[in-house]
């Protein structure tokens, strides 16, 4: 059986026709959805590895569940994603050829494929959450392991279904993340305590993160990889700064000691649900306002400094503009999520 015939047999989607070889990477094939269950399942699963999930799940964890967990999740997520993003632009392995595969996503189609950062992020988030809670909360370990496996598996399979990665890309991402977790786990407790250990930590986090963004590996053509990496590192730097500010100025109660603390998970009640959704809504609205305000202001300053025509899309992609405005914007978002949103919650009487 040929590779083309194999992909035609995949459930859910098929090409309406096999076009001629594309002239550039942005070409997207037309396709016909045959099985809507598979289509929506894996499109939803793919969204679990995208920015819209992390910009909601991670803040929700911080505001409503446990700041200690959110801090650890964000640190591991930032480190894993940086490794994956840089590896893509160093290895420069292309994504699957289309045809025979059908690519269902447009935004990241110009990026390289190996390793799958969706697979890396999903594996890192799910198993870091499992490891960090199994000695901290009382719940059946088998249930937690099952949820971690299901979550990461769905995201991994979605990358194959959407035609964005090969099996090797996905397995490479999972393997790199597994090795990273095993090697760094002994230092997790130390990393947790660094936020309050030294006044130089936030400065180092910001300087090092900006340096890594500005010296990101050059690519043959423009892709969103550098911008996404800047967003991730900047958010991590902002969160680090936010936790340090909270500790130094005593703006929030100290997070629970990062040593294992076993406690029961409280039952979900209507009042808890309403409170959680209210805190989340308030927080997200403030984050979006800060994001839009800082982004517009930083772009205006950079456009004026470099004498660039406003709303010039190509100029916005220039290294000296893209990295600073992304970095300032998402550092502000991280700081806002960890410091100003909890302050607003207390002002509004939301415990």
Q: What is the pLDDT of residues 37-93, one digit of tens each?
A: 777 887 887 777 677 777 788 888 888 888 888 888 888 999 999 999 888 888 888
107 or 127, which is more confident: 127
Question: What residue numbers bound the domain in which 176 lies?
Answer: 69-97+110-196
Q: What was the pLDDT predicted at 195?
A: 63
Q: Is 24 among the catalytic positions?
A: no
Q: What is the pLDDT of residue 23?
A: 38
Mean pLDDT of 171-194: 87
User: Does 4 map to a domain?
Assistant: no
Same-domain check for residues 150 and 186: yes
**Mean pLDDT estimate for the chain:** 80
Domain's final residue, options 196, 217, 243: 196
Q: Could you count the other beta carbons within 10 Å of the beta carbon of residue 223?
A: 19
Number of domain units in the chain: 2
In a domain, 30, yes or no: no
Q: Does residue 316 share a domain with residue 202?
A: yes
Q: Answer for the pair 224, 322: CB distance below 8 angstroms, yes or no.
A: no
| Last residue of one domain, picked from the residues 196, 221, 241 | 196
Residues 215 and 324 in one domain: yes
Residues 203-228, mean pLDDT to the nearest whole number: 84
Lowest mean pLDDT among 194-198, 314-318, 325-329: 194-198
Identify whether residues 142 and 235 lie together within a single domain.
no
121 and 211 belong to one structural domain: no
- In the block, residue with structure tokens 């990889």: 225
Rounded to two decimals, the pTM is 0.81
Q: What is the share, in percent, of the chain residues with pLDDT greater than 90?
A: 23
> Is-catalytic flag, 247?
no
Q: In the listed set 149, 176, 196, which residue is the last one of a domain according to the structure?
A: 196
Candidate list 24, 62, 118, 345, residue with the active-site label: 118
The C-alpha torsion from 298 through 302 and 307 to 313, rounded to 10°, is -80
Which residue in 62, 165, 247, 345 is the catalytic one? 165
């Amino acid at each position: 059986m040929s590779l083309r015939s194999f992909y035609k047999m995949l459930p859910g989607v098929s090409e309406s026709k096999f076009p001629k070889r594309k002239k550039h990477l942005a070409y997207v094939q037309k396709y016909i959805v045959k099985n809507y269950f598979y289509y929506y399942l894996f499109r939803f699963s793919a969204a679990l590895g995208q920015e819209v999930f992390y910009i909601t799940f991670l803040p929700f964890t911080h505001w409503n569940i446990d700041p200690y967990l959110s801090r650890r999740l964000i640190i591991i997520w930032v480190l894993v994603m940086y490794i994956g993003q840089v590896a893509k632009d160093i290895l420069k392995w292309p994504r699957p050829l289309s045809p025979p595969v059908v690519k269902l996503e447009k935004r990241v189609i110009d990026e390289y494929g190996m390793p799958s950062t969706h697979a890396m992020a999903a594996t890192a988030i799910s198993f870091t959450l499992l490891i960090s809670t199994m000695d901290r909360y009382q719940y059946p370990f088998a249930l937690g392991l099952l949820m971690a496996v299901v979550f990461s598996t769905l995201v991994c399979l979605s990358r194959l279904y959407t035609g964005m990665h090969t099996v090797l890309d996905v397995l490479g991402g999972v393997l790199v993340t597994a090795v990273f977790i095993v090697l760094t786990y002994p230092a997790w407790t130390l990393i947790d305590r660094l936020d309050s250990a030294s006044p130089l930590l936030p400065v180092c986090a910001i300087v090092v993160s900006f340096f890594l963004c500005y010296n990101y590996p050059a690519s043959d053509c423009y892709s969103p990889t550098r911008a996404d990496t800047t967003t991730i590192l900047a958010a991590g730097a902002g969160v680090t700064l936010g936790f340090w500010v909270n500790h130094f100025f005593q703006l929030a109660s100290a997070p629970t000691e990062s040593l294992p603390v076993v406690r029961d998970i409280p039952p979900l009640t209507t009042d808890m649900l309403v409170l959680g959704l209210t805190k989340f809504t308030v927080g997200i609205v403030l984050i979006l306002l800060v994001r839009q305000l800082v982004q517009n202001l930083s772009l205006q300053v950079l456009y004026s400094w470099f004498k660039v025509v406003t709303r010039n899309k190509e100029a916005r992609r220039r290294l000296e503009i893209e990295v600073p405005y992304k970095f300032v914007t998402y550092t502000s978002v991280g700081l806002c999520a960890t410091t100003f949103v909890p302050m607003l919650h207390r002002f509004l009487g939301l415990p």
